[in-house]
Amino acid sequence: MDSVALGRLQSRRLQQLVAHARAHSPYYREHYWDVPPAVADPSQLPVTTKKALMDRFDDWVTDPRLTFDQVRACSRDVQRIGEQLLGTYTVATTSGTTGVPGMFVLDERAMKVTKAIATRMLGDWLSWRDMLMIVRSGGRLSMVMATGGHFASAVAAARMEKHGRNRRLQVLSVHTPLPKIVRALNDFQPAVIAPYASMAAQLANEQGAGRLRIAPALLALSAEGLLQAEYARIARVFGAEVGNSYACTECTFLSHSCPHGWLHVNSDWALLEPVDAHLRPVAPGVRSQTVLLSNLANWVQPILRYDLGDRVIQRPDPCECGSPFPAIRVEGRTADVLELGSPGGRRISIPFLSFAALEDRVNGLDAFQVVQTSADALSVRVTSETGEDERAVRSAATTEVERILASHEVRAVRVTADERAPERTQGGKHRPVIPLKN
């Protein structure tokens, strides 16, 4: 399929989703009251935001059986991770880097599209020789992720385990101290490993030092951005293919990388519009202020021209890999890692996703930020949910950060509560972790 055919397919699916949203979502019926019946250009549609959608959750969804209270109760119950709500829907949450945690419901169509594009992604990343190696090794997959919450990756892992494939699947929590992760990977010997990007960089350090001894065919990275040189280093250290993906809970299949380091948007099922601060389109080759996302697969909770908050640059010319899909580079996501000391003098790296446990373990927490103020000191900033005692929430979050550090064998670091609210970036997000400035 060429780019012209892709554009026609994308336009048709956008028009179908808009018609469905207007017919079945009270929010969109109101939001699109002055939009023409047939939408030929996505810029005809007004923009949506996470806060606006969350505030109108019950009116937003197209299945009236779904309610905010019902979905929130499911999202807060870790025993229900991977369970299908109403026998049909998958619940996933976001970490709230915009200051607004999100609750999302994925229908069966969205899950099928995610699976199909994952297959396409692996086909782009792996040669027949790589695939044969994976089959011969038993197809063992290790996932290193933020477990214990309804993040999209945790939901996927739970779903796989519940379907009886856990003998070939190893799920490791990113909250686990690195030496324990290394020992578990050495014992399991995965053919494919799927870590967050910052964790992959740490594992490459362990592999290079000889403590980690695995020979995967593929490292499938996600969630964060690294410098291009880091991807090359990880591939070199492991002697493996390294694939990268830029996606989000709102659109789990958004893009994946090619051999030339570009991320290709799966534009048959997603629309990504780079725009400036006034939400006007920017030219290819110009860095955007944000991007507007439309997920064309999920009809139960339509994501249409949704302000995602990330900055991207769209390639102005065709990519050397020959893909007809638009190519982008993402500048708004970087991996934040705290470099801290241990009693023995060894430096310990802790990626920001290790602190995701705060969201599940601190009642009343709305948003948090861990700031490294010196080589051996951290401060914790929070905002609490409406009606909660912010001082008590801040104290509980500080205690939880101390517990996380202790689990990583970091005990010589002072943790204090900071009464200031989490700082926001120019794009409106706040970084969950701010490392010490060099």
- C-beta of residue 371 within 8 angstroms of C-beta of residue 378: yes
Both 400 and 325 in one domain: the answer is: no
In this predicted structure, what is the pLDDT of residue 339? Answer: 79
Pair (16, 88) in one structural domain: yes
Q: What percent of the chain has pLDDT over 90?
A: 49
Check whether residue 94 and residue 38 sit in a common domain: yes
**Number of structural domains, the chain?**
3
Asked whether residue 35 carries a pLDDT value surpassing 50, the answer given is yes
Tell me the backbone φ, ψ of residue 402, rounded to 5 degrees. Answer: -60, -40
| Confidence at residue 150, expressed as pLDDT on a 0 to 100 scale | 46
Here the CATH number for the domain that contains residue 184 is 3.40.50.980
Q: Which residue did the predictor score with more confidence, 357 or 149?
A: 357
Q: What is the pLDDT of residues 63-81, one digit of tens each?
A: 999 999 998 888 777 677 6
pLDDT in tens, 385-408: 888 899 999 999 999 999 888 877
Q: Output Rg (C-alpha) for the chain, integer angstroms.
A: 22
Mean predicted confidence (pLDDT) in 262-280: 95
- 311-341: pLDDT as tens digits: 899 999 999 999 999 999 987 555 667 878 6
Q: Which segment of 299-308, 416-425, 428-437 scores lowest on mean pLDDT?
A: 428-437
Asked whether the whole model's pTM tops 0.85, one would answer: no
CA–CA separation, 91 and 158 (whole Å): 12
Instruction: Identify whether residues 37 and 84 lie together within a single domain.
Output: yes
| Residue 125, domain member (yes or no) | no
Q: CATH number for the domain including 383?
A: 3.30.300
Please check whether residues 227 and 256 belong to one and the same domain. Answer: no
Residues 6+ apart with CB under 8 A from 132: none
Better pLDDT: 347 or 199: 199
Answer yes or no: is pLDDT of 294 > 90: yes
302 vs 129: which has the higher pLDDT: 302
In angstroms, rounded to a whole number, what is the distance separating the alpha carbons of residues 171 and 284?
Answer: 39
Rounded Cα–Cα distance for residues 188 and 190 (Å): 6
Report for 154-163, 320-329, 337-346: range of highest mean pLDDT: 320-329
Q: Give the domain extent around 175.
A: 137-244
Average pLDDT estimate for 71-98: 76
Element holding 104 (H helix, E strand): strand 103-106
Residues 27 and 58 occupy one common structural domain: yes
Q: For residue 164, what pLDDT is reported?
A: 47
Asked whether residue 237 carries a pLDDT value surpassing 90, the answer given is yes
Q: Which of 308, 330, 352 corresponds to the end of one domain?
A: 330
Helices then strands, each counted (H, E), the chain: 13, 21
* pLDDT higher than threshold 50 for residue 45: yes
Tell me, yes or no, whether 257 and 278 share the same domain.
yes
Q: What is the DSSP letter of 190?
A: -
